[in-house]
């Protein structure tokens, strides 16, 4: 079946803006991009410029977008440390977006405020990609997470997925939950009571997805096909004493993995602190570095279909 490219010229602000069919179109495009030789995909971004503006630190998102654009024959310019831009002199987000819009064909924005990407999309003529907006969403992370599950488990349906850690402030998990609502999955949300999921942020899907909430991982972990671990987001706590109370609550180590399914897959959007022991990295269950690798390819697919109406 040929799917229509609904991504051409579009903003990627929220995963809620995309249907299951749209997500599967991106997954199929990612498969196609991965099969191409370098010279076969270098036309998709030729002569085009990606502009990135990061008001918060990033390693994977920024570099994978930049690497993806380079793989398509395009170039990147941007601000990755606002101290070295006119943002430091007080220039507004609106003016920063307007200027980047003049110099680039597509803009990748990370900003600490919820709603920042939607606002930028209203100002920009060129497409905006949300690379993280406050505690609200990180839609391309969720797309690559779903793609990773599909490739590593062979399906998304009929899996039992645990999401553990900071479910209050972790923006990736809100995009992921909205993406998962398109599939038949059982979800365990595991967090300290003070870091449980913001119920108002999932009210639209609460009755469309099978969610159970837990505080302890030890019993739940035995049931899981996928364990998605998240970092406690120190930078988003209004009070550092509250962070001190919950830091280190969960630790994935060799011992806890003894009680898991043999084919459990452990994911993490990264960066990790101490929530996954480095000793776990060598386990076949650890797929978080593969997940980061899929990120570059999925983002190359996204850029391809945003910039080209009929690339294939
Ligand atoms: N997963 C993720 O967003 O990583 P960075 O903060 O390094 O971009």
6 falls within a domain: no
Q: Which of 4-18, 38-52, 126-140, 203-217 has the lowest mean pLDDT?
A: 203-217
278 falls within a domain: yes
Residue to probe by mutation, ligand 1, list 60, 135, 139, most atoms within 8 Å of CB: 60
Tell me the pTM. Answer: 0.96
Q: Which of 3-7, 102-106, 260-264 has the lowest mean pLDDT?
A: 3-7
284 ligand 1 Cβ < 6 A: no
Three-state secondary structure call for residue 240: helix
8 falls within a domain: no
How many folded domains does the chain comprise? Answer: 2
Q: What gap in Å lies between CA 251 and CA 5, rounded to an integer?
A: 42
CB contact burial 17-54 (16+ within 10 A = b; e otherwise) = ebeeebbbbbbebbeebeebeeeebeebbeebbbbbbb
Q: What gap in Å lies between CA 276 and CA 273, rounded to an integer?
A: 7
Q: Which of 41, 48, 110, 181 is catalytic?
A: 110
1 falls within a domain: no
Shared domain check, 156 and 33: no
Q: Which of 6-15, 35-44, 53-62, 244-253 has the lowest mean pLDDT?
A: 244-253
CATH number at residue 31: 3.40.50.1370
Q: How far is CA 16 from CA 13, 101, 142, in A?
A: 9, 24, 11
Shared domain check, 300 and 279: no
Shared domain check, 249 and 106: no
Shared domain check, 205 and 75: no
222 falls within a domain: yes
The proportion of the chain whose per-residue pLDDT surpasses 90, expressed as a percent, equals: 88
Shared domain check, 173 and 283: yes
Read off the pLDDT of residues 187-246 as tens digits, 9 standing for 90 and up. Answer: 999 999 999 999 888 888 888 899 999 999 998 999 999 999 999 988 888 888 888 888
Shared domain check, 167 and 89: no
110 is an active site residue: yes
C-alpha 138 to ligand 1 mean position (Å): 9
3 falls within a domain: no
pLDDT of 234: 84
2 falls within a domain: no
155 is an active site residue: no
pLDDT of 241: 87
| Average confidence (pLDDT) over 168-181 | 95
pLDDT greater than 70 at residue 1? no
Parent domain of 244: 139-292
Closest by CA position to 300, among listed 129, 136, 54, 172: 129
260 falls within a domain: yes
> For residues 226 and 267, is the Cβ–Cβ distance under 8 A?
yes
The pLDDT mean for the chain works out to: 95
Shared domain check, 63 and 181: no
Q: Which residues pair with 188 in a beta bridge?
A: 162, 212
pLDDT of 134: 95
231 is an active site residue: no
């Amino acid at each position: 079946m040929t799917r229509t490219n609904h991504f051409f010229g579009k903003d990627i602000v929220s995963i809620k803006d995309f249907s299951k069919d749209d997500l599967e179109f991106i997954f199929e495009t990612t498969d196609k991009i991965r099969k191409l030789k370098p010279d076969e995909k270098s036309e998709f971004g030729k002569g085009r410029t990606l502009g990135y503006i990061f008001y918060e630190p990033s390693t994977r998102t920024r570099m994978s977008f930049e690497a993806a654009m380079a793989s398509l024959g395009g170039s990147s310019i941007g601000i990755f440390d606002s101290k070295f831009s006119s943002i430091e002199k007080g220039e507004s987000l609106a003016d920063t977006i307007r200027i980047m819009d003049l110099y680039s064909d597509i803009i990748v924005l990370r900003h600490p405020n919820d709603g920042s990407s939607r606002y930028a999309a209203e100002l920009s003529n060129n497409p905006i990609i949300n690379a993280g907006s406050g505690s609200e969403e990180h839609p391309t992370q969720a797309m690559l997470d779903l793609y990773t599950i599909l490739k590593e488990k062979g399906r998304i349906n009929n899996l039992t997925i645990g999401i553990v850690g900071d479910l209050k402030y972790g923006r990736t998990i809100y995009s992921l939950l909205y993406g998962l609502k398109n599939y038949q999955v059982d979800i365990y949300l595991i967090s300290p009571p003070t870091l449980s999921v913001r119920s108002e942020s999932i009210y639209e899907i609460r009755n469309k997805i099978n969610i159970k909430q837990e505080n302890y991982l030890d019993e739940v972990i035995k049931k899981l096909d996928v364990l998605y671990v998240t970092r406690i987001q120190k930078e988003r706590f209004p009070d550092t004493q509250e962070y001190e109370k919950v830091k280190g609550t969960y630790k994935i180590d060799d011992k806890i993995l003894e009680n898991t399914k043999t084919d459990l897959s452990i994911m993490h959007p990264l960066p990790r602190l101490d929530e996954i022991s480095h000793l776990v990295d060598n386990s076949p269950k650890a797929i978080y570095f593969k997940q980061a690798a899929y990120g570059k390819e999925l983002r190359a697919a996204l850029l391809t279909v945003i910039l080209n109406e009929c690339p294939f």
